[in-house]
Structure formats: structure tokens, C-alpha cells
Amino acid sequence: MSTHIGAEMGDYADTVLLPGDPLRAKYIAENFLTNVKQVNSVRNAFGYTGEYKGHRISVQGSGMGIPSMSIYINELVKFFGVKTIIRVGSCGGMAPDVHLRDVLLASGSTTDSAVTANTFGAGIHYAPLANFELLDAAYHEAQKLGITPKVGDIFAADRFYNDELDMKKLADYGVIGTEMESAGLYLLGAKLHFRALSILTVSDLIFGEEKTTAEEREKTFNDMINISLDTAIAGK
Ligand SMILES: O=P(O)(O)O[C@H]1O[C@H](CO)[C@@H](O)[C@H]1O
Ligand SMILES: O=c1cc[nH]c(=O)[nH]1
């Protein structure tokens, strides 16, 4: 039992899928895992452990933004022994060749969050990067499913409503999408020595009008979920 997770040691698998939306966690557990047990409901941040193709896998809702996600990651790693965390999130598409519902892999994550500066001081601009073993596995597992993900820099914004930011400039510098957690996930992966990857589905376009509904973001991002589950068990 930890402050925000009402489970016991051993209740979580060593690999956890981490959506922001707790209802996406429920959807994944109910539709993709077998022998499922609910392991957390504190604050309705639902967590489940089950099996996928014979391997134990957990899924845990992290809430929105780096501060909320960091609480769950710290507790999963320090109290429950988690070794691999794969974020399965939604994001806004920013590159011209990125379309609604595309799957993106965050090879790195630029951020305006203070977490990197607060870790290293003002003079160091740390580059939070994905675990390459997971990134490589995700790319190849996606291709086996007939999906070619776009790979690149994801802007992890501290604010969902951030109209002061020059998103066009970030896109001009190669940022392919935006969400609110990846840089924090990768920073914590480096700090706490677990393997980290963000796999994202484009839920809306930053420079266009198209977008998915809340129910679609909860229940229809199956390509991303299949890729993340096959990545979780790759090489096992
Ligand atoms: O769909 P999730 O995983 O929550 O991710 C994205 O959606 C939320 C904002 O709507 C933020 O958490 C952002 O990162
Ligand atoms: O954080 C997010 C998530 C989806 N779309 C966005 O524009 N931002």
C-alpha cells in the first residue's frame, strides 16, 4: 500500500501500461487482458493486472500532466517494483504528415515543464529520451501489425490551454505532436532506472479542426494498445 495506490507488493506486474485516462485503463483491462484483477481504485485512478498472451501485464491510469503522472510512477517503481512503463496516451498532431488516429512514438520529449530545470538547475537543458530497446521493439511490433508509426520529438506541455506558446515554431523545429507527460516519464525513467516509452494516438490536430470525442479517446485507440502490449512482451 502506498499513498495513492491501495495495492500490495506483487499486485502489479513488472511492466505497466500507463494511460492518462483511468477509463482507458479499464477499457484495456476489460478488452485486451485475461484473468484480470482490479488492483487500485484510490481516487478512481483505476489499476488492473491481468495476462496478455500468457504474460502478466498491468495497466494504471495516471491522470493528466506530469505532476499527477509522477505520483503514480514514483509509487509504482518504489513500492511495487515496476521495471517498465509504457505510456499509452492521446496527443495533438503537429507535423504536416501526421493525421488523426496516427500512432506516434516519442523518441524524445521537449518540454516547458519546470521538472528538468528543477532537477539540473538553470544552466542544463536535459534531453529526456525514450528507452531505445522499447522504442525499437515498438517500431518493429507495429510494422508486424501493418502499422508504420511516426517517430520523433513530442512536446510535453505543462498547460493544455497554452495559447502563449509558439507551436508553429516547435513544429518547424521538428516536433511531431504534443501531450502533457512524456518528458516527465523519460526524466523519471533516467532517475529511477526503469525502461520508459510513450506511444501516442493523434486525437486532434493542432493546426486543423479534426478531433476525436472523449468516448473515442477512451475506447477506440486499439492500434496503439495492440502495439504497446506486443512491445511489453517482446523478447520474453
Ligand atoms: O489521453 P491522455 O493519456 O490523458 O493524454 C493526453 O490527454 C490529456 C489532455 O486531454 C493529457 O493527459 C494529455 O497528455
Ligand atoms: O495534451 C494534449 C492532448 C491531446 N491534444 C492536445 O492538443 N494536447
Residue of minimum CA distance from atom 2 in ligand 2: 179
State the average pLDDT over residues 55-78: 98
CATH code, domain carrying 40 = 3.40.50.1580
Residue of minimum CA distance from atom 3 in ligand 2: 91
pLDDT tens track for 153-200: 999 999 999 999 999 999 999 999 999 999 999 999 999 999 999 999
Cβ atoms of 71 and 165 closer than 8 Å: no
Which residue in 112, 136, 158, 204 is the catalytic one?
204
ipTM for the predicted complex comes to 0.99
Any domain includes 200: yes
Phi, psi of 151 (to 5 degrees): -120, 135
Residue 106, domain extent: 15-233
Ligand 1 pocket: which of 180, 198, 202 to mutate (most atoms within 8 A of CB): 180
Q: Write the DSSP symbol of residue 125.
A: -
CB contact set of 2 (below 8 Å; sequence gap of 6+): 75, 78, 79, 80
- Any atom of ligand 1 within 6 Å of the Cβ of 141: no
What span, in angstroms and rounded, lies between the C-alpha atoms of 110 and 153? 7
- Any atom of ligand 1 within 6 Å of the Cβ of 19: yes
- Any atom of ligand 2 within 6 Å of the Cβ of 198: no
Any domain includes 76: yes
pLDDT tens track for 73-104: 999 999 999 999 999 999 999 999 999 999 99
Any domain includes 4: no
Which pLDDT band, with edges at 50, 70 and 90, does 215 fall under?
confident
Cβ atoms of 128 and 187 closer than 8 Å: yes
| Ligand 1 geometric centre to CA of 91 (Å) | 7
Which pLDDT band, with edges at 50, 70 and 90, does 218 fall under?
confident
| Ligand 1 geometric centre to CA of 180 (Å) | 6
Residue of minimum CA distance from atom 4 in ligand 2: 91
| Ligand 1 geometric centre to CA of 19 (Å) | 8
What span, in angstroms and rounded, lies between the C-alpha atoms of 157 and 111? 6
Tell me how many helices (H) and strands (E) the chain has. 8, 9
Any domain includes 154: yes
Q: Domain count for the chain, please give it.
A: 1
Any domain includes 3: no
